[in-house]
Amino acid sequence: MPRPKGSKNKKRVQSVTKLEEKIAAQQALKKTLEAEQADILAAIEKQKQLLKAKKKELRAAEKALLSLEEKKAEAAAIESAAAQKVEIEKAVTELVSSGKTVDEILEMLKK
């Protein structure tokens, strides 16, 4: 079988117009990707700012909650002290009405 003329490894040369079209397509792709990247970065920055604001609101809410819990504890302590005072006054009036002396009442309260 005779051998064909010419090299099999011959490089094919593309036309300049085809290369220009490919360059233009790649440049357009690059521009769209850059625009998408800028949009994503802007969205990230917006979300960061939103997160920062929400964290600030959360800290303020936690501070207010802590303050309210402290006030509740103080109010409960005051109420329990008042209830104890009422009970002691009742006990003292009962002891006085039963004929106990002040010294006897004081000894009973110490126990």
Query: Is the Cα torsion angle 38, 42, 43, 44 positive or negative in sign?
Result: positive
- Percent residues over pLDDT 90 in the chain: 59
Whether the CB-CB separation of 56 and 69 falls below 8 Å is answered with: no
CA distance to 13, 96, 104, 106, 107, per residue, from 111 (Å) = 111, 17, 11, 9, 7
Say what the pLDDT of residue 68 is: 97
Is a pLDDT exceeding 70 seen at residue 3?
no
Say what the pLDDT of residue 17 is: 87
pLDDT in tens, 50-70: 999 999 999 999 999 999 999
Is a pLDDT exceeding 80 seen at residue 48?
yes
Name the pTM for this structure.
0.54
Mean pLDDT of the chain: 88
What are the sequence ranges of the domains in the chain? 16-110
